[in-house]
Structure 1
Amino acid sequence: MAAVKELLRVENDGTLSFGDYTLTSKTKLENFEFQGDLYKVKTFAEITKLEKNGMLIYESVPGTAVEKFKATEDTLEFIVSGEKDVQFTVELEAGTEYTVYMNDTNVGKMKTNLSGKLSVSAELNAGAEVSVKIVKA
């Protein structure tokens, strides 16, 4: 998967793609309108962060590229790639249990904290990608 050179784009299937981990300095795109909401992305080699209406919805350390990001009431799905292993944090429903799948393998159940954040680590090699699916239990 290549970095998203536009920083943030809408795909033909109605999902979002964002992030460019190949950048050496922090770059951002603000006020990107999608389905009535405003998005902001900040990305470079060290971090990728996506906000919706001023609220965090995705953050990774180090930076990543994310494709086909789609959130529904009970499920969050996306494909992530980067140069090396990554930890990403997503904002979901507070104090709720979710089942996490990576490349269609159940990696276990996790519970969000009181602010709704769920942090997951993924093993990545340069050029490789991992499909992530987080389902409300």
Structure 2
Amino acid sequence: MPVIEELIRTEQDGTISFGNHKLKTKSKLQDFEHDGDLYKVKTFYEITKLERNGMFVYESVPGTTAMNFTVSDDGVEFSVEGDKDAQLTIQLAEDTEYEVYVDHAAVGGMRTNMSGKLYVSVELNEGTPVAVRIKRR
């Protein structure tokens, strides 16, 4: 999966893709409009962060490239790529139980904390995207 040279873009299927884990220096793009919302992305090899309308959505340490990112009432779904294993933080509904799937395999139920954050670790190998799906139980 290629990195996102423009830092964030809308895909033909209506999802967004963002992040560039190959950048050596911090880069950001703000006021990217998608479906009536304004997005801001900060990315480079150490961290990738996405905000929507000034609110936290996604963060990875180290930096990643997220493709076909889509959020619904039931959860979130996307593919992620990076140079090494990453810790993902995703904003969801607060104090809610979710089933987490990584590469189409259930890795178990997880509950968001009081601020709605869910933490997922993914094993990444350069050039191989990993599918992540988090669905409300």
Match of residue 130 from structure 2: 130
Give 4+ residue runs of structure 1 displaced > 2 Å after superposition: none
What secondary structure sits across from 2:32 in the alignment? Answer: strand
**Partner letter of residue 13 of structure 2?**
D
Measure how far apart 1:75 and its partner are: 2.3
Measure how far apart 1:127 and its partner are: 1.2
Tell me the C-alpha RMSD between the 2 structures: 0.5
Q: What TM-score does the superposition give when structure 1 sets the normalisation length?
A: 0.99
- Fraction of identical pairs, as percent: 55
How many residue pairs end up in the alignment? 137
Verify the 8 A CA contact 2:61 2:88 in the aligned structure 1. Answer: yes
Q: Does 1:82 align with 2:82?
A: yes
Mapping of residues 19-58 of structure 1, within 5 Å? 19-58=19-58
Structure 1: tracts of 5 or more residues without a match: none
Mapping of residues 108-123 of structure 1, within 5 Å? 108-123=108-123
Measure how far apart 1:26 and its partner are: 0.4
Match of residue 3 from structure 1: 3
Q: What TM-score does the superposition give when structure 2 sets the normalisation length?
A: 0.99
What secondary structure sits across from 2:98 in the alignment? Answer: strand
